[in-house]
Each structure stands twice: as C-alpha cells, then as structure tokens.
Amino acid sequence: MARVLLWVVCVSVCYHVEVGLCSLNVPPPLPVLPVPSSSQVKWQQREMIMFIHFGINTFTNSERGTGKENPELFNPNGLDAIQWATVAKEAGFSLLILTAKHHDGFCLWPSAYTNQSVKSSLWKDGKGDVVKDLSEAVRAQGLDLGLYLSPWDRFEPFYGNELQYNEFYLGQLQELLTKYGAISEVWIDKFKKDNITMTYLFSKWVAIIKELQIHANVVSNAGPDVRWVGNENGTAGLTSWSTINGSSYPFDQGSKGYLNSGDPYGTDWIPPECDVSIRKGWFWHSDQKPKSLSQLLDIYYTSVGRNCVLLLNIPPNTTGLLSEEDAERVIEFSKAIKTIFSKDLAASASVTASSVRGETFSPSNVLNNDLWTYWAPKDFRSSKKSHWIELKVEEVVEFNVVRIQETIVLGQRVMEYGVYVSGVDEKKMMLVSNGTTIGYKKLHRLENPVKAIRVLLVIWKYKGNVPIISSFGLHFDPVYNASINKY
Ligand code: FUL
C-alpha cells in the first residue's frame, strides 16, 4: 500500500513539477484535433509525387479529347514504363500517379467495360496494358502507384444515365483496384464541361476504394483524404491549413480561396496537393518545353514550402518515353533540392527556448529530422502566452532559407510567428520573416542572404495549450541567390 502511495505521489509530482529526473515522465501535449491518418502522414512525407498524363490526347496533340477519337491512333511503339520509373526514382519521387482514363474515355488498361481502350489500339496488337507495365516498373524500383480515373467520360454512351454510369464507374474502379497490386492514391478529378446533369454517387465510389485499398488516399476538391489546392500552378496560400470543413463541401466544390488556404477551424484533416505540369500542357506536345530550374524551385517553395505535397506532371511523348529534356530537368531539380536541404547550417547550433516541457521535449530535438521528436514548451495552461526557441551557432552563418516544421501528428497548431536574427555582438534582433501557418513544412525564402549568429523563432499565437516544433533549420539556396543577382 505504502509503495502504491509513493508511486502515486511521485507520478503526480513528476507531472506538476517537471524537473530533473522526473521530467522524463511528463506526458506529451494533447493532440489538437483533427489529426492526420497514418496514410496521410505517409503521403505528406513523400513531399513530391510524379503525375503522368498519357493517353489518346498524346497522339491527337490535344489537351481535352472529345471521346470521338479512333483508338487505333494510340501507338507508343517505344513505350518503356521502366524508363518512367527510373527517372522518377532518380528524381526522388516515391509515388507515380497515371491517368488510367482521362475525360475522353480512352482506357490505358483493357477494361472489360468498354472497347475504347488499349485493346482496340495498334499498340502491341491490342494486347498491351499500360497500367500493368507501370505497376510492374514502379514495384521493381520500390516505388508506389496511384491512379487517376476521370468521372467525366466523353466516350461512354451511358454517361448521363445516373444508375448505369455510376455502376460503370464502380466497375472500372474495381478493375483498377484489384488487378494491379497496392494503389496508394486515387485521383477523382471533378472537372466536367458539358450540360449533362447526372449525380455522381461519390460516397459509394469512396466506399469501394476504401474496401479494396484501405491505405489509398482519395483526392478530389474536398477530399476525403487530400484536397485540391485551388489552382494548377503549384501555389498554396501563404496561410495553408491542412484542415477544412470537408463535410460541408461536395467533392466537386469548395471555393478556390478556401481550398487554397484551408480553414483554421476546419473539422477534417484534408491537406492540399499542388498539381502542376513541368510543361504548359498536361499532355505532351512537341512545341512545348519544360519549365526552367528556377521556375521549378519557385514552385517547390510555394508548394512543399507551404505545407503541401507537390504533384508534378511529366508527360510521356508519342514514343511512350519521358522526353530527355524533361528527364534531365527534373533530375536537375531534385539535385538542387538535395544540395540546398542536405546541409543544415544550424546542425551544430546550441538551442535554447523560453521553457521546456520536460527532458523528452528538449529544444535540441529540432535539429534532427525525426518528425516524432520535438520541442514543446511548458504548459502554462491558463495563459495564452508566446513562446520562443533560439538557434545559436558558434561562427556566423550565411543563409537565405529558414525551414520550420511542426509535428503534425499532434495537429497543426501555430497561427502566428516571426523569425528574428542577430549578428555577432548585436543585442538587437531583426525581424526577417513572419507567417501564419507552419504545418508539416514551412520554407521562408529570404529576399537577400542573411549573416547571423542567433536565429530566433517567436510563436505568438497557436491552437491548443502549447505549440510544438519538430524541426528548425537554416539553408543556403545558391540558385535563388543567382537569380537575384541576374535580374
Ligand atoms: C483537370 C483536367 O481537366 C486536366 O486535364 C488535368 O487532368 C488536371 C490535373 O485536372 O481538371
């Protein structure tokens, strides 16, 4: 009995005093709901996903087919899905999403529900299957597969008949989700431009996806797992919440501004994905060129750097290969990201903070790359006070990117903050950037490189009892620097 009493007293003291040895026992802060599912965390940690727009449009030099195309036109006689997957792997993508069917209705797999597919094409005498080729190629590289299946189908004669078309769509989903192994993401594009009125039985589609592929994230305008960012240029809002009120929006709606910034009081965790093409069009056209490295890096900062995942489209050409210039550009892009972010100039900094919740939540946790370890300040409960964390390096460092990350598994919390710096012997700190949301990753690209010895993050406003910072780093981006010098 005495022992039990002693234990109770000790636990209670540990909880309230939060010092010395006992501090190990301080429990983590409570999550601020909603929080991401494990599939959503995995999705977020991918940071970049490759989109592949390929289909009959590739052969008609079009962006939007009519459904009247002759399937014999599809003949990518050099198609090599291994090349797609190899480029993806080299460029650091862990997931590839293929347009199994675009709005024109042409299917890249031999669907039993239609003849408008590879089986009516000249490619491999109608015996080919692009989805199969890609699924095997990605697995061989240790990558994952996702599929885009357009609900708007301009070929299908049933389109417009609610019952028949919804059954048809469910049938196609079932084929795709049972024949090609694990599918990590299903893209349900809301786009439709005709006068045909028909209700999509969206909740039934999601139910069958979850039944057949429990870990797949379903993407549409408003989720249920991932939302569209509201534009196709790779730009999330400066304020970028992973939360929205998903249940108030049908899958094909949601105002662009709302989807772009999210909702601090949203009841559902439905983070944004930024879809953008490396070229002007989604499909390959001989007269288009890939975006420049600095354009791609701008996109990286406005997507991954604003709490999003970048879904970058690289369209195969009529031969069935990613064109060399696109492949070279995307690999150059990924190398630039590695160069910038593999070196954290604060790696050996000493880190102090306004307060520490307990030893497990030490400020120095922000120097490792582990999402699950973090700095948390003391919980002052009643007061909504601000908190700070400071990096101090031994010798002056020059940087133009500040990276801040939250432990999103405990919710997205920070609502207002500022980043200050000071040089040697300078007592005064200078504000260099500020922001609203952080989320999984926030990258502040500074107008000009800064030389500093101390870098301070002050958090003024947050949800929950305390803010939680998983990572805080400093980087130098030579490409951005060069472009400033150039223009
Ligand atoms: C849009 C489509 O209309 C485009 O063709 C492209 O597939 C893009 C990703 O989504 O809604």
pLDDT digits (tens, 9 = 90+) for 339-391: 999 999 999 999 999 999 999 999 999 999 899 999 999 988 766 789 999 99
User: Which residue among 51, 97, 189, 283 is best mutated to probe the pocket of ligand 1, counting the most ligand atoms within 8 A of its Cβ?
Assistant: 189
Name the residue at shortest CA distance from atom 10 of ligand 1: 189
Determine the atom of ligand 1 nearest the C-alpha atom of 187: 9
Residue ranges of the alpha helices (H) in 213-316? 256-261, 293-303
Cα(232) to centroid of ligand 1, in Å? 9
Q: Which two tokens stand for residue 300?
A: 């990286």
Query: How far away, in angstroms, is 79 Cα from ligand 1 center?
Result: 23
Characterize the bridge pairing of strands 309-313 and 414-422: unpaired
Least confident interval from 17-26, 131-140, 320-329, 436-445: 17-26
SS3 361: helix
Provide the 3-class DSSP secondary structure of residue 385.
coil
CATH 2.60.120.260 residue ranges for the chain = 350-482
Q: How far is the CA of 20 from the centre of ligand 1 (A)?
A: 57
CATH of domain 38-341: 3.20.20.80
Query: 164-215, pLDDT tens digit by residue?
Result: 999 999 999 999 999 999 999 999 998 888 889 999 999 999 999 999 999 9
Q: What is the pLDDT of residues 208-262, one digit of tens each?
A: 999 999 999 999 998 899 999 999 999 999 999 999 998 766 666 678 999 999 9
Q: How far is CA 167 from CA 196, 197, 220, 256, in A?
A: 17, 16, 19, 30
Q: Per the structure block, which two tokens stand in for 136?
A: 């095997």
Q: How far, in Å, from the CA of 191 to the mean position of ligand 1?
A: 7
284 C-alpha to ligand 1 centroid (Å): 14
189 C-alpha vs ligand 1 centroid, how far in Å?
7
Eight-class DSSP state of 318 = T
Which DSSP string corresponds to 431-456? EEEEES--TT-EEEEEEEEEEEEEEE
Going by pLDDT thresholds of 50, 70 and 90, the confidence category of residue 8 is very low
In this prediction, residue 441 carries a pLDDT of: 98
Name the residue of 52, 54, 191 to mutate for ligand 1: max ligand atoms within 8 A of Cβ: 191
Is 173:205 a contact under the CB 8 Å cutoff?
yes
Percent of the chain with pLDDT over 70: 92
Q: Which two tokens stand for residue 99?
A: 């347009």
Q: Which residues line ligand 1 (CB under 6 A)?
A: 189, 191, 275, 282
Atom 6 of ligand 1, residue of closest alpha carbon: 282
| pLDDT for the residue 483 | 56
Task: For residue 9, report the distance from its CA to the centre of ligand 1, in Å.
Answer: 61
**Amino acid at position 250, single letter:** P
What is the location of CATH 3.20.20.80 in the chain? 38-341
- Cβ atoms of 40 and 307 within 8 Å: the answer is no
Nearest to 43 by CA among 468, 420, 408: 408
Contact assessment for residue 158 and residue 168, using Cβ atoms and an 8 Å cutoff: yes
Task: Inform me whether the pLDDT recorded for 130 exceeds 80.
Answer: yes
CATH class, 350-482 region = mainly beta
Q: Are 186 and 98 in contact (CB under 8 A)?
A: no
Q: Which atom of ligand 1 is nearest to the CA of 102?
A: 7
